[in-house]
């Protein structure tokens, strides 16, 4: 849709597209924080309830603040690798492509957050970048080896994490 509207656009549209990207980046950040932080807060609240420390799933403020700080630290320390991969290695994004990707991703992640549905913001954004390349009918310019690597990582993360959690629980129970 963006492409059709701005098909005959000139360099005059560079500034409005750039300004719109700031807005969609803000919305994407808010959506990611609302969705990803709440998953961590939910896990901590469930553990506190299971331990008997609290009698409800209402999370104390320190869990929300801790999750926010952990997300900020994680993004600052390790997030740039993900940003580089999504922004440069999957498909060469033009400013209008990036705006379309950010708009779709922000809408989906914010909608999921409002609905209380946990989604992976990394998977949503990466998929939208592939979608932009497909929407331009440039299948050959999408770096499928990178998409394949990410897909394998996504598919193996859950079972590997489950096995690690089971091993950690066994070790924890043995030590207790």
Q: Are residues 162 and 89 in the same domain?
A: no
Q: Are residues 138 and 174 in the same domain?
A: no
Q: Are residues 110 and 166 in the same domain?
A: no
Q: Are residues 94 and 133 in the same domain?
A: yes
What pLDDT does 127 receive?
Answer: 93
Q: Are residues 149 and 98 in the same domain?
A: no
Question: What is the average pLDDT across 44-54?
Answer: 87
pTM here?
A: 0.77
In whole angstroms, give the CA distance from residue 59 to residue 63.
Answer: 6
Q: Are residues 41 and 14 in the same domain?
A: yes
Number of domains the chain is built from:
2
Cα atoms in the Cβ-side hemisphere of radius 13 Å centred on 132: 26
Give 102's pLDDT tier (boundaries 50, 70, 90).
very high
Cα atoms in the Cβ-side hemisphere of radius 13 Å centred on 146: 18
Q: What is the extent of the structural domain holding 171?
A: 144-176
Q: Are residues 68 and 153 in the same domain?
A: no
Q: What is the percent of the chain with per-residue pLDDT over 70, rounded to a whole number?
A: 94
In whole angstroms, give the CA distance from residue 14 to residue 96.
Answer: 9
In whole angstroms, give the CA distance from residue 158 to residue 176.
Answer: 26
Residue 114's Cβ-count burial label (10 Å; 0-12, 13-18, 19+) is exposed
Question: What is the average pLDDT across 148-158?
Answer: 92
Q: Return mean pLDDT, the chain.
A: 87
What pLDDT does 149 receive?
Answer: 93
Q: Is residue 66's pLDDT more than 70?
A: yes
Lowest mean pLDDT among 82-91, 100-109, 158-167: 82-91
């Amino acid at each position: 849709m963006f492409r059709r509207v701005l098909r005959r656009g000139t360099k005059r549209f560079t500034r409005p597209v750039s300004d719109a990207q700031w807005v969609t980046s803000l919305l994407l950040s808010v959506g990611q924080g609302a969705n990803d932080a709440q998953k961590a807060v939910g896990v901590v609240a469930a553990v506190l309830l299971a331990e008997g420390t609290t009698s409800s799933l209402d999370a104390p403020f320190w869990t929300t603040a801790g999750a926010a700080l952990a997300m900020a630290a994680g993004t600052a320390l390790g997030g740039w690798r993900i940003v580089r991969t999504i922004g440069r290695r999957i498909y060469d994004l033009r400013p209008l492509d990036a705006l379309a990707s950010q708009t779709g991703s922000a809408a989906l992640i914010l909608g999921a957050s409002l609905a209380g549905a946990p989604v992976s913001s990394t998977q949503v954004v990466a998929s939208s970048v592939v979608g932009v390349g497909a929407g331009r009918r440039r299948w050959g310019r999408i770096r499928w080896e990178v998409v394949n690597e990410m897909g394998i990582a996504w598919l193996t993360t859950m079972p590997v994490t489950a096995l690690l959690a089971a091993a950690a629980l066994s070790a924890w129970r043995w030590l207790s």
